[in-house]
Structure 1
Amino acid sequence: MGLLRARGLVQAISALVAIGFLCGAIAVKRSMKGSALHQQGEELMYFPSGRFLKQASLGHENTFADVVWLRAIQYYGEHRLTDRKYDMVGHIFDVMTTLDPQFIHAYAFGALVLAEDAGKPIDGLKLLRKGMSHNPDDWYLAFETGFIYYIVLRDSENAGRYFSLSSKLPGAPEFTSRFAAFVEERAGHTETALRLWEESARMTENARIKEMAEQKVEELRRKLEEERRARESIRKGG
């Protein structure tokens, strides 16, 4: 038992040393040239692949994934406040989910950023499919796939298919089947989109996804009010 505990301690220390080495290497790259954002882009280009980090982690993949998650949130926040360019998001979340294939929130948040902020919905769907391949019974990933098909790509057929799939998976809440029905009935896009974002804001435990969803809810409510006023104006004019 003592030997096993000693080995576990050595592995933990090795993992922390490796993380420190990675962060140190990144810091050196950042200090070499360019503006802050250019440095950040350069930094993330040197992020090792998830497969490399998985081998280097010595059994501490989740610890490494948590480090990458914190860096991803920082990267997203900085670019959201400045140039709104997210060139490295796909790479970062691929690394993270290779380290921890069961990191459900990483798949969901990464896919939303890719689809909504980076303008790369196909890459977002690719990340979600990776998640579903590792977590085939997770209803949330199937639901998020339908969400992107409907909200971003306006593909009702595929959206309905994934909403329906989500509703049949273990633990799926009632609203998943409700949205499958909405899409199949071709409900008004804005109204359905509003309901989807409202449900996302309500059900998520992830602060970043909740913030994004609440912003979309406000935008869509304003849009619906503008549409209502326009219809009322036309009616009165007629």
Structure 2
Amino acid sequence: MDKVYLRFVPGVLLVALLSAPPRPVSRQGGGLLLPRPGLLKTLFRSQQGLVTDYFWVLLINRIGAASRPSEYRQIYDYADLVTDLDPTFWQAYFYSGLTIPVHLGKGDYVNVEESSAILRKGLKHLPDNQRLSFQLAYNLMFFEKKYKEAADIIQELSRRPDAPSWYSALATRLYAQSGDFDSSLSLSMALRDGAEDEESREFYAHRVQEILQERLLRTIDEAITRYRQREGHLPDGLPALVASGDLAQLPADPLGGRLFLGEDGRAYSDAARFRMELIQDERTEDGERLVPKPRVTNDDESQP
């Protein structure tokens, strides 16, 4: 009789649990007050798949119903519980990690930490999942600005036989943006030398020159910063950096262009429309991308 009773109680609890979705209750200090996964596993050992599916449905409902940043944050709590119940449930990691971040405008996002946390949890249990890896790399490059870590992930993904060809190019760009020019150059040179077709060889040969150009522009940026901090204003043009001693000489552009000081106080070359950075989607009212213009001075080198 006792054995029958012990089997009956979890069944009754399961029916009660599944009868109506509970209204989420927040715990003190943030986050939702949800059942502990250990308790659920103990009570519903033989019905664990059904319980997991139940909280997965609640997770999907929360994704569909969320409208405020705090509600998107609650997706993490459901995802964390679902993946505690089933650590191999990749869809719970992926769709929650994809949905949780909320754009507040002007490049500001919230819930990024929770998004990356659930994706990292997924990769701990499913290290070969390409979708989770790329989504984490996306978080790192666009939300967290951790370009080196993102580059490492993309480079690893590029080694897969089914990886798209642009993964390697993206990795070289991310290494350069992170300031790790040695890794960026090494990877680009290896891809250039190992290319099986002329088009790829030319692309990575050009990428090597782009990386050298970006490294040079970063050096000029540092000189501009030193000048501005000392003088309290931007130099009139790049020759002023040589006259002030902040640069020994005005270097030659590896891509053969003319270097100039942009109106945003950074160095540019007319041989490249953009610096070797991820281009943020910032547009004018007419839909055109914002491209830095040269500072207007009397120096010939400052003209476009």
Task: Give the TM-score taking structure 1 as reference length.
Answer: 0.60
Does the 8 Å CA contact 1:68/1:92 hold for their aligned counterparts?
yes
Match of 1:123 among 114, 117, 122: 114
CA shift, 1:132, in A, is 1.2
CA distance change for structure 1 residues 108 and 230 in 2, over 3 Å: closer, same or farther?
same
Match of 1:71 among 55, 58, 64: 58
Does the 8 Å CA contact 1:143/1:163 hold for their aligned counterparts?
yes
Tell whether 2:140 aligns with 1:154: no
Give the distance between the partners of 2:92 and 2:140, measured in 1 at CA. 19
Match of 2:279 among 173, 190, 196: 190
Does the 8 Å CA contact 1:139/1:171 hold for their aligned counterparts?
no
Which structure carries more relative contact order (alpha carbon 8 Å, separation 6+)? Answer: 1
User: Hey, what does 1:167 align to over in structure 2?
Assistant: 158
User: Hey, what does 1:20 align to over in structure 2?
Assistant: 15
Tell whether 2:89 aligns with 1:103: yes
User: Hey, what does 1:197 align to over in structure 2?
Assistant: none
Give the distance between the partners of 1:16 and 1:221, measured in 2 at CA. 55
Tell whether 2:70 aligns with 1:85: yes
CA shift, 1:94, in A, is 0.6
Structure 1 residue identity aligned to 2:83: T
Does the 8 Å CA contact 1:51/1:95 hold for their aligned counterparts?
no
User: Hey, what does 2:289 align to over in structure 1?
Assistant: 228
Does the 8 Å CA contact 2:134/2:154 hold for their aligned counterparts?
yes
Give the distance between the partners of 2:140 and 2:18, measured in 1 at CA. 37
For 1:70, what is the secondary structure of its paired residue?
helix
Tell whether 2:80 aligns with 1:94: yes
Structure 1 residue identity aligned to 2:70: K
More moved, 104-113 vs 46-55: 46-55
Unaligned runs of 5+ in 1: 1-10, 31-39, 192-219
CA shift, 1:189, in A, is 1.9
CA shift, 1:223, in A, is 6.8
Structure 2 residue identity aligned to 1:22: L
Give the distance between the partners of 2:279 and 2:37, measured in 1 at CA. 38
Q: How many residues align?
A: 183
Higher helix share: 1
User: Hey, what does 1:144 align to over in structure 2?
Assistant: 135
CA shift, 1:150, in A, is 0.5
Cα offsets for 1:89-124 (capped at 9, x unmatched): 221111011111111121122223333467122222
Does the 8 Å CA contact 2:21/2:58 hold for their aligned counterparts?
no
Give the distance between the partners of 1:188 and 1:182, measured in 2 at CA. 7
User: Hey, what does 2:194 align to over in structure 1?
Assistant: none
User: Hey, what does 1:194 align to over in structure 2?
Assistant: none
For 1:137, what is the secondary structure of its paired residue?
coil
CA distance change for structure 1 residues 170 and 17 in 2, over 3 Å: closer, same or farther?
farther
Give the distance between the partners of 2:47 and 2:282, measured in 1 at CA. 45
Structure 2 residue identity aligned to 1:77: G
Match of 1:57 among 39, 44, 53: 44
Give the distance between the partners of 1:224 and 1:147, measured in 2 at CA. 27
Structure 1 residue identity aligned to 2:155: S
CA distance change for structure 1 residues 162 and 59 in 2, over 3 Å: closer, same or farther?
farther
Give the distance between the partners of 1:166 and 1:181, measured in 2 at CA. 13
Give the distance between the partners of 1:173 and 1:65, measured in 2 at CA. 34
User: Hey, what does 1:132 align to over in structure 2?
Assistant: 123
Structure 2 residue identity aligned to 1:85: S
CA distance change for structure 1 residues 90 and 125 in 2, over 3 Å: closer, same or farther?
same
Runs of 4+ in 1 over 4 A off after TM superposition: 13-18, 24-27, 169-175, 220-225, 229-232
